Structure 1
């Protein structure tokens, strides 16, 4: 922006006014948390103004896996402000370490902050691997025993019928006499 000031007939000055560019800082505390399957954790997101006029900043979370949901409260604001990020982990989310990206942006700037979410297996809650192992070690042997039992029953029933048929064909008869 230029301002032209004229004083008198021969004196003038030009004043250049530069706008200080908008910038902000993003931080999340703590940067790492543990959470059990089926539970929630909270992080504090802080946005501070570095320079320029404060502008609206919008918050979001990226690199979110299936079974993980989140909310920001509030989800936007003008620096300086803080927001609470609440992350909920479903009961069937795989227990492992997740790196999630907190994103703060507006039309001028965009900043990221990585947080670590360590999902821990909740005692008593089966994972897909647990289910597969259960099938292998419990259900398959039971099915095998049932199949073998049916086969043996069929074999013994046929042998008994064959024996009865042989006895009948040979005409053997058993007679019992009383005392």
Structure 2
């Protein structure tokens, strides 16, 4: 009886593996993106324009990142000097697939700031949170809402895909079409 049960479990595990393999096989040889996805780029431009209209100049400080660039950022605070700024290794960030940006406030052309309480347009509200609200209205998710690691400058659009799907080769055009 135990032997039959073990065979049954092995068959189930095998079926799951075959299903997973066949589900992503068609995507497995697809190249990685090398730039920001056009939808994300368009929304990033819109965010900058909308923020400027309410007196909050911003700058996009980071957008697409290669796996190597991501690994270098991941090394900060671990194997290189500086504070830990990410928990995502190469391939584990939406930046690596052109689906994320980072921003900062730009109160003057030579000084980017990451002050969540700054009120440069003097309307009694945090400029940072005003930009976050604009970004959310444009369809971005905000890293400040992450539960484990708050990434306040981070905005992303998953466009219907998980990191796991992206790693296996699936791309937004497979979902959006």
Normalised by the length of structure 2, the TM-score is: 0.24
Higher relative contact order (CA 8 A, sep 6+): 2
In terms of fraction of residues, the more strand-rich structure is: 1
